[in-house]
Amino acid sequence: MNTQKIIANIVVAMGFVAVPFIPFIVLGNSTFFPFIVGKNFAFRVIVEIMLSAWVVLMAIDPAYRPRKSYLLGALVAFLAIITLTGLLGENPEKSFWSNFERMEGVITYLHLFAYFIVASTVLSVRAMWRTYLNFHVGVGVAMAMYGVLQWAGMLTVVQDGIRVNGTLGNAAYLGTYALFNIFLALFLMVHTSVTETGARMRMLLYGAVAILQTFVLYHTATRGAMLGLIVGVGIAMILIALFERERLMLRKIAIGTLLALTLFVGGFIVLRDTSFVRESPVLARFASISLTEKTTKSRFMVWNMAYQGFKEHPIRGWGMENFNYVFNEYYNPNMYDQEQWFDRAHNVFFDWLIAGGFPALLAYLSLFGCALYCIWRRARTLSVLEKSVLTGLLGGYFFQNLFVFDNITSLIYFFTILAFVESISNKLPVVEKKKGTKEEVLQGVSEDVSYVVSGGALVLALVLIYVVNYAGYKQNTTLLRALSERSATLGAAHNLALFKEALSYDSFGTSEVREQLAQISLSGIERGKELTRTQQEFLILADRELTTQAETLPQDARYQLFTGSFFSRVGMFGQAIVYLEKAHALSPAKQTIMFELGNAYYKNGNTEQAEQIFKQAYELAPEYDEARMFYAQILTANGKDSEAQKILGAGK
């Protein structure tokens, strides 16, 4: 083995050691969206380095080269579809790069594909898959213990006060993380023989890990992940009961587990209204699942909006990260007491329908289909028990995706499982067919050429790290500095300079910088007090940047609203109305836009038009108290006191 191959193997191995620790990265003091940004940039950089080292391995040794398979073909098709639909969508730049809050987009899936290629080849050649999965489970225990300490009150919980979230910043993310770890522990447990004392101890250890992760999952109070666990275990037990023919005891255990699950779910439904359940914050959250519950109703409304958007563009979709266009256009006014800027359908399958239409959803579903085919038809080294547990993992993840959306942590696990499934599928040896009947094993490049390849791989890594990450990371950290740093000598001028620096990077977070700039520009304005020179410069810069944003994305109601609201706050009501009318046209049923528009008309002296706008907002959802108050106030201002009293009385 030459030196280049040794070094490349070491680099890739270090990457595999680093990947499981990505969920622990929280850059709270240096990044905007600290639970998202650090993890995603770390994953990108690690994969870029691993990919570059893999290029060396692939060139030197053909064993590291990927081979044709259904799963690989499905992934390539999936990437091609989301790339094409992203380019044809509403905001191609966002489709590719996403934003600071999500950091998904096509770029992330390209990195996940690269990770899949490296993992499915290198870990197979080095026979390290079991070691890697064990390492994931071990690191997962550390995350679980962090969650236990949060539950015990020894560490801070950053969401809802009771729902543990580890270092992921979101209880739902930790729920999915725990779900994967439960099934990985069970998979490794059933792989272990029970004939030796050491093996039995390992089984007990894996069982303890599964119980620990279930405890954490429960205390995330994540309903989708908990239901996913129940469904996944149910699927695994059904498969064992149907296909396990050699060990009858396992079939009996599977049937017993199914009966226990049925009794557990049925018993919980019967007891859901008892004081014991209602007085437990976690149990009460699970018990609140119903068709009339607030969150459930909002999900149905959002899914209907997604369906309407799909019908508008059933083939090409809207492009990744562009659900906001659908949400605004088909906004349901009965969602007035919910988040006003949904960027996800909270259903992975609807998200893909919006991102790339039916072709994208079909391609996404084919990943599961091909994985199941590989597990049951190609993975001859796995027992029925192992296949069933692995299928249960995919089934549980699939089911919970009906209620949530992915993040970098869940995607890393999903693509790890796909790479493992790809690796355990039977493959033909790497050969190159020659004329006639002879076949000659493929050869790698010579040692001299390997030096050239290694140098090129190093350049590739440096270029990727800089092009993909540098500008975005610098823009993100500079934005946080602009919002948080204080200068005793320069004062607010220092923050203004930092905002200008953040804008100068012209990366995928520019829209976020502009939003934050507008908010901080308006925060220092006091009625009747003369503006300082720095305040004026802030407002001038915000004016220019918001106008540019609105003109760059004329079909995005969010930026039309922000620009119009800005002009309204600085007293330029005529200009504000222009942008607010555009926002209203793009999202005709959203009351928050109507409130801004009606207020601008009122302050601009057109009270009759203001009354019409507030009336429209009220009639869309008469039970909305804020809309009722605005409408009553404008009626009073227009001398229609009796009508105003009637409107106010309707709300009692």
* Three-class DSSP labels, 292-336: CCHHHHHHHHHHHHHHHHHHHCCCCCCCCCCHHHHHHHCCCHHHC
Burial class (CB within 10 angstroms; exposed 0-12, middle 13-18, buried 19+) of 311: exposed
What pLDDT, on the 0 to 100 scale, is given for residue 193?
56
Q: What is the pTM of this model?
A: 0.94
The segments of the chain whose pLDDT lies below 70 read: 1, 192-198, 426-442, 651-652
Distances (CA, A) of 394 to 180, 303, 367, 372, 400: 9, 23, 10, 9, 10
Would you say 72 and 66 are in contact if contact means Cβ atoms under 8 Å apart? yes
Would you say 423 and 71 are in contact if contact means Cβ atoms under 8 Å apart? no
Distance between CA atoms of residues 608 and 595, nearest Å: 14
Would you say 496 and 534 are in contact if contact means Cβ atoms under 8 Å apart? yes
Distance between CA atoms of residues 248 and 409, nearest Å: 38
* Three-class DSSP labels, 221-251: CCHHHHHHHHHHHHHHHHHHHHHCCCCHHHH
Would you say 591 and 620 are in contact if contact means Cβ atoms under 8 Å apart? yes
Q: Which two tokens stand for residue 138?
A: 């071990």
- Calculate the CA dihedral of residues 283, 288, 294, 296 and round it to 10 degrees: 100
What pLDDT, on the 0 to 100 scale, is given for residue 439?
47
* Three-class DSSP labels, 363-411: HHHHHHHHHHHHHHHHCCCCCHHHHHHHHHHHHHHHHHCCCCCCCHHHH
Distance between CA atoms of residues 176 and 441, nearest Å: 43
Beta bridge partners of 93: none
Q: Which two tokens stand for residue 481?
A: 């500095």
Distances (CA, A) of 565 to 311, 373, 596, 625: 32, 54, 7, 22
Would you say 148 and 216 are in contact if contact means Cβ atoms under 8 Å apart? yes
Distances (CA, A) of 157 to 145, 150, 521: 13, 6, 32
Q: Which two tokens stand for residue 541?
A: 């810069």
- Calculate the CA dihedral of residues 597, 598, 602, 607 and round it to 10 degrees: 130
For the beta carbon of residue 93, count every other beta carbon within 10 angstroms. Answer: 16
Q: At what angle do helices 197-220 and 129-151 cross, to 10 degrees?
A: 50
Distances (CA, A) of 320 to 103, 150, 305, 361: 11, 35, 16, 12
The pLDDT tens digits for 3-55 are 889 999 999 999 999 999 999 999 988 999 999 999 999 999 999 999 999 99
What pLDDT, on the 0 to 100 scale, is given for residue 405?
92
Distance between CA atoms of residues 52 and 160, nearest Å: 42
Distance between CA atoms of residues 36 and 168, nearest Å: 8
Which residues make Cβ contacts (< 8 Å) with residue 533, sequence separation at least 6? none
* Three-class DSSP labels, 419-462: HHHHHHCCCCCCEEECCCCCEEECCCCCHHHHHHHHHHHHHHHH
What pLDDT, on the 0 to 100 scale, is given for residue 236?
96
Distance between CA atoms of residues 144 and 174, nearest Å: 9
All structural domains of the chain, each given as residue ranges with its CATH number in brackets, are 580-652 (1.25.40.10)
What pLDDT, on the 0 to 100 scale, is given for residue 526?
75
Q: At what angle do helices 223-243 and 248-271 cross, to 10 degrees?
A: 150
